[in-house]
Amino acid sequence: MIAAHYPALQIALPLIAAPLCVLLRRGTWAWLVTVAVSWTALYVSVQLLLQVLASGPISYELGGWAAPWGIEYRVDSVNAFVLLIVSGISAISAPYAYKSVIHEIPEHQHYLFYSAYLLCLTGLLGIVITGDAFNVFVFLEISSLSSYVLISLGKDRKAVTAAYQYLVMGTIGATFFLIGVGLIYAMTGTLNMADIANRIDQVQNTRTVLAAFAFITVGLGLKLALFPLHLWLPNAYAYAPSVVTVFLAATATKVAIYTMLRFVFTLFGTDFALDVTLLAEFLMALALVGVFAASITAIFQNNIKRMLAYSSVAQVGYMMLGVSFFSVTGLTGGIVHLFNHAMMKGALFMALGAIFFRVGSVHIDRIRGLGKQMPFTMFAFVIGGLSLIGIPLTVGFISKWYLILAALERGWWPIAGLVLLSSLLAIVYVWRVVEVAYFRDPPTNHPKVTEAPLSLLVPTWILVLANIYFGVDTTLTVGVADTAAKVLLGLGQ
């Protein structure tokens, strides 16, 4: 019985738990609620994915109102996979949060932190699961508003300005998206995504639909930090509390990319995007420039968190590069990189959070000699870094493999060469950290540090091992991504 209501539970549980945390007013209790809800959400999303793989897309009528009028939750293999990424990262970072939050956030704000965290989770899951275009905007704002709050809780005062900057740019992006949805509604008279997809063919050559397409892609481009609309991201990630960086870096941009895929492929349709607009050419150019510009900027950062934030902008570039091929292999590469990047950046930011917990800084001068003092944390960072570069036997290799394959399939070997070349830039910035941590002596004017506590190490290592496991056994990730790519291109269920 309850299995039929999984789509609603996925959203309702964290949504109800958020005000519950405020009522509890105790940090520890709120944390317990957060962990329980995150793991339940993971269980639900695994069940949803299994159901979808076994018996095709699920349509859930919220409140019993039939589809074009009521809000429909629609789960197919594309968003079931993204739901799994979001809830999986939340389930791993919630246990990690306990000690990290005690260390970084004043005690009287703990319960409010967990409340905002759950609201952010609600918003992200909601964007992914809903089948209603306006509902996407509502959930987008729920997740955005709570993430502005989460970012502003960082210890450094720059966190507040970073949150403010993100608020301004994020609101502009969301409002652009809202304008686009309004224009689509004006032309099709419906907000249900499947309904829009059916009706948009008749009006696709009007200027209004073109304007809607432009507003939506630019608005979502801001949210997903597509170069050159990424300016909010480096500071927001660098100064947010460690857990927030882990959670947002691994989920927020992925969800925005999913929304972009859903609107471009399912709503507007591949033919429209390819023939009427120049989206493929634009995306490919911006993705490649973004990969190089962000990777080169990352090399010159002395704050390691900021360095990884720039690297995230570059990784978004890889995902969009995969999308811009508009082929099954390319999309598979892009979608599988959503998952893989969540694994590697989650592991890397968790290791950095553990370093911050012991050292109190993530400046490159302060990690000298940490390879001996925090061996497990630093080794986790090294494997995460290797995965970021794309060494075989890690998930990073799988993503790059499919991107290069997609480029060669089209005969565009210079692009394959550029992907390889950009990996060399990743080697440079990862090596800078490794060199300082392993081959320099620890500073003498600071107290000796010890290994991070187990509650931080265990989640970090779960993600590190996931990096290796999914780098060897790709049946789940590539299998689902391949199905998802075919669904998006309209080649199958």
Using CB under 8 A, count the residues that bind another protein: 25
The token duo for 327 is: 């082929």
Those residues whose C-beta lies under 8 Å from the C-beta of residue 482, and which sit 6 or more positions away, are 328, 332
Q: Which of 13, 167, 244, 343 is close enough to bind another protein by CB under 8 A? A: 167
Under 8 Å between Cβ of 480 and 49 = yes
CA 171 to chain centre: 18
Interaction of residue 347 with another protein, rule CB under 8 A: no
Phi, psi angle pair for 81, to nearest 5° = -65, -45
| Alpha-carbon span 3 to 99, nearest angstrom | 35
Interaction of residue 185 with another protein, rule CB under 8 A: yes
Q: For another protein, which stretch binds (CB under 8 A), given 182-190, 354-362, 391-399, 447-455?
A: 182-190
The token duo for 411 is: 């005969």
Those residues whose C-beta lies under 8 Å from the C-beta of residue 48, and which sit 6 or more positions away, are 6, 7, 10, 58, 75, 80, 83
Interaction of residue 161 with another protein, rule CB under 8 A: yes
Under 8 Å between Cβ of 151 and 162 = yes
* Cα 430-432-437 angle, rounded to 5 deg: 100
Interaction of residue 149 with another protein, rule CB under 8 A: yes
Compute the least distance from the CB of residue 334 to another protein, in Å.
30
Interaction of residue 327 with another protein, rule CB under 8 A: no
Interaction of residue 186 with another protein, rule CB under 8 A: yes
Under 8 Å between Cβ of 233 and 225 = yes
Name beta bridge partners: 72. Answer: 61
Compute the least distance from the CB of residue 352 to another protein, in Å.
20
Q: Token pair 């830039």 is at which residue?
A: 425
Q: For another protein, which stretch binds (CB under 8 A), given 9-17, 155-163, 223-231, 430-438?
A: 155-163
Closer Cβ to another protein, 200 or 407, answer by number: 200
Compute the least distance from the CB of residue 141 to another protein, in Å.
5
Phi, psi angle pair for 72, to nearest 5° = -105, 135
* Interface mask toward another protein for 81-120; x: CB under 8 A: ----------------------------------------
Q: Which of 175, 277, 327, 455 is close enough to bind another protein by CB under 8 A? A: 175
The token duo for 61 is: 């009528």
Compute the least distance from the CB of residue 353 to another protein, in Å.
23
Interaction of residue 168 with another protein, rule CB under 8 A: yes
Closer Cβ to another protein, 178 or 456, answer by number: 178
Interaction of residue 134 with another protein, rule CB under 8 A: yes
Interaction of residue 137 with another protein, rule CB under 8 A: yes
The token duo for 23 is: 């009522």
Interaction of residue 163 with another protein, rule CB under 8 A: yes
Q: In terms of C-beta density within 10 A (0-12 exposed, 13-18 middle, 19 or more buried), how is residue 202 classed? A: exposed
Q: Which of 57, 68, 182, 479 is close enough to bind another protein by CB under 8 A? A: 182
Q: What is the torsion angle, in degrees rounded to the nearest 10, for the CA atoms of residue 485, residue 139, residue 290 and residue 213?
A: 70
Compute the least distance from the CB of residue 61 to another protein, in Å.
18
Site for another protein, rule CB under 8 A = 134, 137-138, 141, 145, 148-149, 152, 157-158, 160-161, 163-164, 167-168, 171-172, 175, 178-179, 182, 185-186, 191
